[in-house]
Amino acid sequence: MALYIFITIISFLIHFILIVPFIDFLYKMKFQRAKQETKDAFNKPTPIFDLFHQHKSGTPVGGGILVTIVTLILSLFFIILLHYLNVSINSNYPNILAEISIIVFTFGGFALLGIYDDLEKIFVFDKSNFFGLQLRNKLIIEVGLALFISFLIYQYLKISIIYVPFLGVFDLSYFYILFSAFVILAFANAVNITDGLDGLSSGTLSIALVAFWAVAATIIDVPLSIFIAVWLGGLIAFLYFNIHPARIFLGDTGALAFGAGFAVVGLILGKAFALPIIGGVFVVEIATSLLQLLSKRYRKKKLFPVAPAHLYLQYIGWEEGKIVMRFWIIGAIFALIGLFIAFMK
């Protein structure tokens, strides 16, 4: 465990050193949140969101780009370094290369997709013609990525079962691919939706990752433990500059990659049932958004005055900092409950 803590500290220091010049670089490139009318998934204006967040216009977007790239590079560096130092790299899977490749592809694939969203929001491209990528097409790409990653998990890591406490083990066979894809897709979008307040998604994700870090270290999965340690160090460094008032935002590049990565970590650890509990805040956020969208589509009226949950709390008068810190506490409670379930036999 001391090794992983050391790696986290090194990762934090490297990210912390790089993030200030990276913020300056984003300013020079004008990679900033544009002052514009924000639109929802149905391309309709969101005046309540704009009311609370237009003052943040001009803040650099793209923190996820830095954390994603540096996390991948450092993770591979430490794994290769341990290999050349003849340190045993244990894993739950005989195909360690496949395990590492799946994590790298998940991070990289969803990050590249997220770059499109960041560019569209910043430079206000028309979704109907920007690289020909419409909202429906973007969703199709997300589904394709999730299915491909799930196939890799099933084919090369031979994962097809889920364990449900008190009920036992269920072998889903080929249906595991569909189950896994749904989980990856859900969390990729859930983290993206949660990334609406300063420090909310990054802080909540850091807490949830500590829980999975404990699981990975307990079952002695070295590649995952190293990856989580590096990722956690980067998130903490980013969070220092992301807390209110934020100097930099995560952006869709990071939100999509981190959400998908979080889901894949949980799946590879074999903790599919504990995953939505450890990431309970993200589940609540996407659930309130989904219920709102379904109500508007089929009932022709809103279920809530505004969604997701964090925006509703702003709407009724809660201060931003109060919402974020309360969600962190709730996230910690979810993580503890999820850990309890994860360690149940």
Chain segment 36-84, per-residue pLDDT in tens: 545 444 444 455 555 666 666 778 888 999 999 999 999 999 999 998 9
Number of residues that this document lists for the chain: 345
**pLDDT of 92:** 84
Structure tokens at 86: 């003849």
- Say whether pLDDT at 254 is over 80: yes
Mean pLDDT of 246-272: 93
Chain segment 7-29, per-residue pLDDT in tens: 999 999 999 999 999 999 988 88
Of 77-81, 166-170, 257-261, 328-332, the least confident: 166-170
- Nearest C-alpha neighbor of 274 from the set 315, 191, 203, 216: 216
Report strand pairing: 168-171 vs 161-164. antiparallel
Tokens 């996407």 found at: 286
**pLDDT of 47:** 59
The sign of the torsion formed by the CA atoms of 148, 149, 152, 158 equals negative
CA distance 62 to 253: 7
Instruction: Give the CA distances from residue 266 to residues 228, 262, 275, 279, 321, in Å, rounded to whole numbers and listed in that order.
Output: 11, 6, 6, 10, 29
CA distance 274 to 291: 23
Say if residues 309 and 285 touch (Cβ distance below 8 Å). yes
Print the SS3 string covering the chain: CHHHHHHHHHHHHHHHHHHHHHHHHHHHCCCECCCCCCECCCCCECHHHHHHHHHHCCCEECHHHHHHHHHHHHHHHHHHHHHHCCCCCCCCCCCHHHHHHHHHHHHHHHHHHHHHHHHHHHHCCCCCCHHHCCHHHHHHHHHHHHHHHHHHHHHHCCCCEEEECCCEEEECCCHHHHHHHHHHHHHHHHHHHHCCCCCHHHHHHHHHHHHHHHHHHHCCCHHHHHHHHHHHHHHHHHHHHHCCCCCCECHHHHHHHHHHHHHHHHHHCCCCCCHHHHCHHHHHHHHHHHHHHHHHHHHCCCCCCCCCHHHHHHHCCCCHHHHHHHHHHHHHHHHHHHHHHHCCC
CA within 13 Å, CB half, 279: 34
Structure tokens at 141: 């790409």
Tokens 């809103």 found at: 302
Chain segment 86-96, per-residue pLDDT in tens: 888 888 888 89
What burial class does residue 297 get, using C-beta atoms within 10 Å of its C-beta: 0-12 exposed, 13-18 middle, 19+ buried?
exposed
**pLDDT of 121:** 62
**pLDDT of 33:** 65
**pLDDT of 131:** 42
Angle among Cα 256, 298, 134 to the nearest 5 degrees reads 40
Domain extent listing, the chain: 2-273
Tokens 């590049």 found at: 253
Angle among Cα 158, 163, 169 to the nearest 5 degrees reads 80
Say if residues 254 and 68 touch (Cβ distance below 8 Å). yes
Q: For the chain, give the mean pLDDT.
A: 87
